Structure 1
Amino acid sequence: MTEPSLLLAGRFNGPPGSANGGYACGVIAAQVPADVVEVTLVSPPPLDAALLVEERGPVYEVRPAGGDVVAVAKPAADPVDAVPPVLDIPAEAPIAVQDESHPFRSCFTCGPDRESGDGLRIFVRRIPGQSVLADRWIPDESLGDDDGVVRPEIVWAALDCPGGWAVLNRIPGGVAVLGRMTTRIDRCPRVGEVCVVVAASDWRDGRKIGANSALYTAGGELLAAARAVWIDVTA
């Protein structure tokens, strides 16, 4: 029996030379028959390389042909709680990171060097008086399927970096990478639908830092929620 394969196209990069963690997790999660999926990234997921997906009991291992495991996915054991929505985002709210200090400027989700219609350009802002970060997002037509619905792996990507910026708020000047992401999607938004992404971080254990993020409509309907573990690579 041929193992299913997948490919992470170069458009969807995170750090230079590797895929955006949330996007990669979302593509991998599509191979797991469950409503809520946990994906652990063992090493940076490569771009433009065929990856094989092998079912091993309750888990799914992802690796290049003849190579080491890149990621492990499985149905999630625990529910994913959602960060409460922030629907009023002041225009003057500061962006969580300035352009000159962005460690991965070409990142598909949050890179300031990506043009509209190419990257997601989600730049979460610090909300005055709150510990959460938030930004508005309107998905463009390149992110949708033939029916105009945003593809699930794009929703994973949209939830990824906002959580990362919440983590970096805990380690000013540091750099962290996604280690594990668990996501539930109640509904994928439609192309052109105004959305709000929110994120927060509330724990740290050594190099591991937790984050939670959620995607809402402009009216407050919950679309998706994620929890993640990030790894502080500067510790």
Structure 2
Amino acid sequence: MSDFETITVPAHLSGYPGVAFGGYVAGVLAARSAAKTVRVDFRRPVPTQAPVRLDPTAEGGARLVDGELLLAAASPAEPAAQAPEPPSWELATAAADAYRAAPPDGMVDCFGCGLHRTPGTGLRLHCGRVPGGALVAAAWTPGPALGDADGLLPPELVWGALDCPGNAAGRLLDGRRAGAVTAALTARLLRPVPVGAGLVSYAWLLGSEGRKYRVGTALATADGDLCAVGEALWVEPRTQS
């Protein structure tokens, strides 16, 4: 009996075209770890619609491989960044509306932040800058189609809610270009997240150097109760020569 399993990420769960949505992949790997806080490092793009192997590791984590190529690995980690107070539902709604009114260039049909996704086909994390503070945020409500049999957002989609806000923080708070990718995502889930209820995803900068920048991200209820908190390393694409 083998210790590995094979998974195939469906086409609609994409970040960039043909590439699996990083937050979802991180959540799938994290679910195989017994640790409360998990770090997922991305080594190569994970394809959609292609079987890849998920192996347990001796350290109590998991890794995703394609043949001999390591795609991503999860390992127990220290607690993620401490989150500031979430913006109000009203401020997060206004920030998302402003983002949709004037989105940055280079947008793609991402499951997490694609502008053409509906509440049943994506997370709609349209994070705009929150006036008067160093945060980006989006108010959003996951549709019932995204829920599990208990009416909860699956853990891998809670992880997903911590991914795209980091891109928005880089674009809007640090002047980053389109095309950045998640190199690592660390997260801790704090409580179950029901679908059909208002949520606020938000992010803030932790550091910036060269092509890399670090962000904190968090997910809260409309009333301000934290559901999950994370920290991510993003890498900007190399300048074309």
* TM-score, reference length from structure 1: 0.91
**1:95 counterpart SS class:** helix
> 1:43 Cα shift?
0.6
1:180 to 184, 188, 192: 184
Shift of 1:207: 1.9
Q: Secondary structure of 2:170's match? A: helix
| Corresponding residue of 1:41 | 42
Shift of 1:27: 1.1
Structure 2 runs not aligned, ≥5 long: none
1:28 lines up with 2:29 in the alignment: yes
Counterpart of 2:110 (choices 107, 110, 127) is 107
Question: Among 179, 184, 203, which residue is 1:199 paired with?
Answer: 203
How many equivalent residue pairs?
Answer: 233
CA deviation after TM superposition for structure 1 residue 57, in Å: 2.3
Q: What is the aligned counterpart of 2:132 among 124, 129, 133? A: 129
Question: Residue 45 of structure 2 aligns to which amino acid in structure 1?
Answer: P
The alpha carbon displacement at 1:34 in A equals 1.3
Supply the RMSD in Å over aligned alpha carbons.
1.9
Structure 1 residues 48-57 or 38-47, which shifts more? Answer: 48-57
Q: In 2, are the aligned partners of 1:96 and 1:133 still within 8 Å (CA)?
A: no
- The AA in structure 2 aligned to 1:110 is C
Q: Distance in 2 between matches of 1:73 and 1:185?
A: 15
Deviation at 1:50? Answer: 2.0
Report if the CA contact (8 A) 1:83-1:225 is conserved. no
Give the alignment of 1:21-100 within 5 angstroms: 21-58=22-59, 59-64=61-66, 66-87=67-88, 88-89=90-91, 92-93=94-95, 94-95=98-99, 98-99=102-103
Moved more, 142-151 or 92-101: 92-101
- The list of structure 1 runs, each at least 4 consecutive aligned residues, that deviate by more than 6 angstroms after superposition, is none
Tell me the amino acid that sits aligned with residue 197 of structure 1: S
Distance in 2, Cα, partners of 1:29 & 1:97: 35
Q: Which amino acid aligns with 1:47?
A: T
- 1:227 — aligned with what? 231
The one-letter amino acid paired with 1:11 is H
CA 1:174–1:97: 2 relative to 1, 3 Å: farther
Of 161, 164, 179, the match for 2:167: 164
Please report how far the alpha carbon of residue 79 of structure 1 lies from its aligned counterpart in structure 2 after TM superposition: 4.2
**Unpaired segments of 5 or more residues in structure 1?**
none
- The more displaced of 117-126 and 175-184 is 117-126
TM-score (ref. length: structure 2): 0.89
Render the CA deviation track for 1:61-110: whole Å, top value 9, x for unaligned.
Answer: 2112x240100110113444223210141755421883461332x10010
Contact 2:100 2:126 in 1 (8 A): yes
Taking structure 1 as reference, are residues 150 and 174 closer, same or farther at Cα in structure 2, changes over 3 Å only?
A: closer
Partner of 1:209: 213
Q: Is the 8 A contact 1:83 1:213 kept in 2?
A: no
Larger mean Cα displacement after TM superposition, 144-153 or 204-213: 204-213
